Structure 1
Amino acid sequence: MPHTPPHWFLLGAGNMGTLAAWYLTLAGHRVTVIRSESASPLKKTLWLPDGRQQAVSLPVLTPSALPDRIGHLLVAIKTPYTRSAMAPLRQRLDSQTQVLRFQNGLGALDSLLPPGCIPLEAITTSAVKGQHPDHTVVAENATWLGGSTAPPAWFAALTEHWPDLHWEDDIRPRQWHKLVANAVINPLTALYDVPNGRINDDPALRKQATQLCEEADHVLQQLDPAWPGHSLENVLTVARATASNTSSMRADRQRGAQTEIDAINGWLVKQADQLDLAVPANRKMVTALTLR
C-alpha cells in the first residue's frame, strides 16, 4: 500500500527552509509555515542554478491556530531564535513526532523536545542566498538526513525529488565535519568582513584557521577517539571551493543580526569546558561575535 506523504509544519522559511519545503512539496508532502505575525500565504520565488524561476506558495498558520498535535516538524530557523520559536509548540509535540532539524551547528534543540523524541538531522552542501521573497539556489549539492532509527517510510520517495539526497544511520561524522568548517570559515569571515577565500590567501587568517581547527579536533577526539582529526585541509578545500561566497555569519553581522556563533564555536567551547580543555581561539570567536 503506498505511503501517504506527511504534513510538515515549518519553522523558518528562510533560504534553506524554503528550498527544503520546495523539495518536500515536489514529493507530495504538505508544508505549512508557522509564523506569529501573519496567516497570509507565504509567496516565494526560487531561482534555480540553471536560471529557471520557480514560484513557491506555502500556507501559513499562527501558533494559536495549529492543531493540537504536530506529527512532523521541520526546524530551519536560525539557531538564536529556536527557543522562543519552539515555546508555543512544545505542548503539541510528543514522543512520536518526527522533528527534522535543518540548522547550522549543534545543540539548538537540546532540552526543547519531549522525552523519547529524537530529532532527525539534516546536513547539506547546497547553497542558497537572498532575502524574502527571492531566494537564489547557488548550488544543488549533496544532502544527508539521518538519525538513530531506520529511514522513515517517506524517505525513499523523497529521494526522487530532492537532488543527491542520502540517508546516514550515523550522521554524527558528517555533522562534525561541517561543524569544524563552519567554526573556522564563519567566524573569521564575519569578524574580518572578508569572503571565504581570504582564509587561504591571508597568512594571518590561515594561522587563526589552523588554531581553530586544532582546538576543534582535540575536543572531538576526546568525545570520540575514532575522530580522525587533521581537519585543516578539508576546511581550506571548502574555503577555496566557495572563495567568492559570503558566509551566513558574515551576512548576519553585516545586517546587525544575531549570529549562530553559540551553536557553532559556542558548542565546541561548552564541550571543552565539560572536558576541562583549553580552547582560547574558539572562545575568542564566541566573545567577539556575541551581540551585547
Structure 2
Amino acid sequence: MQSEAITFHPVVIGGGSVGLLYAARFLLNGQSVELVTRSREQAALLGERGLSLYTLDGRRETVAVNASPIEDGLPAGDLYLLAVKQTAIAELLPLLRQLPRSARVLALQNGMGHHERLAEALAPEQRFYAINTEGARRLSPTDVEHTGTGLLRVGPWTAEPVRDPLIAAFVAWANRCGIRAEYVDAVEPYAWRKLLANALINPLTALFEIPNGMLLDSPHTLRLMRELFDEAAAVSNRCGQKIDEADWQEIVSICRNTSRNLSSMLQDIRRHNRTEVDAINGYLVEKGKRTGTPVPLHETLLRAVLLKSGMETAKGEAAHDRSG
C-alpha cells in the first residue's frame, strides 16, 4: 500500500510554539487535527479566537481549531504528536499507557531522556521520534510565528527492519505540504546532534537574552560556542556517537537559519517557566561523569541557567505580590 493512500487522524499534545506551529500547518493544509493544551484557559481562547500563524513572508493566517485541556484526557486519534517539554512527560505517561496498540506517538522533545521515559508507557512499535530544526515562537496562547526553515527527521530511536506505514504516510504528507521531512532508519544519531545544538544555543541565548543569530555576531560568543562544542563532542564520541567538524558547521547554520528565533530556554525564563536545561546541558554533565569526560563549561552553564531561572521566577513573584 502506498503511504500516500493511508489516512491518519492527528492529535497534537502541547500548546507551545512547536505544538501550535504543527497544528496550524495541519489545518491550513486541509488536515483535521485535535489540539490538547495544558490549561483550560488556552483551550477556551483557541476556541474563541482560532489559531493564527504568522508566516515567514509576513502573512497572518487564522483557522478554527478544536482544542481541549489535558485534564479532559486525550481525544481519539491514531497519530499523537507529543510537543510538550521534557519536564511535562512524566505526568502524561498514564494517559499514553491508555492508547490502543495501533496508535503511534511521535515525540518532538529537545534534549535527551524522553526516549527512556516513553519506553515505560509505550510498546516499541508505538513510539517514534522527530528531530525538528525549524524555528517557531509563541506570541500568545493563540498566536504562533514561524521564524525559520529547517528539516524534520522522523523515525524509531534505533533501526527497525520495517518502516511503519502510518509514520511514512505522515512524512509523505509533510513533504506534499511544503514541510521538509524525511524518514530515517534511526533517530538517535540525529538526537545527539540536536542535543549539541541545543546545549550551545539555548543556554547562551537565555543568559545573554539575545536571538539565535546574535551568537554569530561576536568572536567572543563564537569562541565560547566552539569550546562548548568540543566538550560536548568528546562526550558524544565516548558514548558511541561520532561528532565531527561538519556538525559544528551545522550548528552555525542553525543559528543563521533561525537568526530571529528566541530559543525555548530564553522564552521559558522570560515567562518564569521551568527550563529544559537539566535535559540538555544536565544530560551532557551526567554522561560526562559516567564516561570520565570533563565538561566544566557545561557544568558552569547548567548552574548559571538554573540560577538565572530562579532569579527571574523570584522577580516575577515579587512583581505579582506588588500588583496584588
Shorter-chain TM range is 0.7 to 0.9
2:104 equivalent among 93, 98, 105 = 98
Distance across 2 between alignment mates of 1:34 and 1:68: 8
Q: Which amino acid aligns with 2:154?
A: L
Comparing 87-96 with 269-278, greater Cα deviation is found at 87-96
Q: Which amino acid aligns with 2:165?
A: P
Report how far residue 9 of structure 1 moved: 2.5
Distance across 2 between alignment mates of 1:168 and 1:104: 18
- Report whether the alignment pairs 1:176 with 2:192: yes
Q: Which amino acid aligns with 1:110?
A: E
Report the counterpart of residue 114 of structure 1 in structure 2.
122
Is contact 2:174–2:180 with CA below 8 Å preserved after alignment? no
Deviations 1:195-219 (A, max 9, x none): 3344334344333222211111011
The 1:216–1:229 alpha-carbon spacing in structure 2 relative to 1, beyond 3 Å, is farther
3-state SS in 1 of match to 2:235? helix
Comparing 30-39 with 130-139, greater Cα deviation is found at 30-39
- Report whether the alignment pairs 1:206 with 2:222: yes
3-state SS in 2 of match to 1:159? helix
Distance across 2 between alignment mates of 1:261 and 1:212: 14
Q: What TM-score does the superposition give when structure 2 sets the normalisation length? A: 0.77
The 1:197–1:226 alpha-carbon spacing in structure 2 relative to 1, beyond 3 Å, is closer
Report the counterpart of residue 152 of structure 2 in structure 1.
143
Q: Which amino acid aligns with 1:161?
A: C
Distance across 2 between alignment mates of 1:203 and 1:124: 28
Is contact 1:218–1:229 with CA below 8 Å preserved after alignment? no
Identity fraction in percent: 28
The 1:280–1:34 alpha-carbon spacing in structure 2 relative to 1, beyond 3 Å, is same
Report the counterpart of residue 13 of structure 1 in structure 2.
15
Q: Which amino acid aligns with 2:262?
A: T
Task: Report 1:24-39 matches (<5 A).
Answer: 24-25=26-27, 29-35=31-37, 37-38=39-40
Q: Which amino acid aligns with 1:114?
A: L
Unaligned 5+ runs, structure 2: 311-324
The 1:115–1:145 alpha-carbon spacing in structure 2 relative to 1, beyond 3 Å, is closer
The 1:165–1:237 alpha-carbon spacing in structure 2 relative to 1, beyond 3 Å, is closer
Q: Which amino acid aligns with 1:127?
A: G
Q: What TM-score does the superposition give when structure 1 sets the normalisation length? A: 0.85
- Report whether the alignment pairs 1:195 with 2:211: yes
Q: Which amino acid aligns with 2:16?
A: G
**What do you get for the CA RMSD once the two structures are aligned?**
2.9
Report how far residue 94 of structure 1 moved: 5.2
3-state SS in 2 of match to 1:111? helix
Distance across 1 between alignment mates of 2:61 and 2:116: 35
Report the counterpart of residue 133 of structure 1 in structure 2.
142
Is contact 1:5–1:30 with CA below 8 Å preserved after alignment? no
> Which has a greater percent of helix?
2
User: How many pairs were matched up?
Assistant: 291
The 1:223–1:15 alpha-carbon spacing in structure 2 relative to 1, beyond 3 Å, is same
Is contact 1:217–1:229 with CA below 8 Å preserved after alignment? no
Is contact 1:49–1:137 with CA below 8 Å preserved after alignment? yes
Unaligned 5+ runs, structure 1: none
3-state SS in 2 of match to 1:136? strand
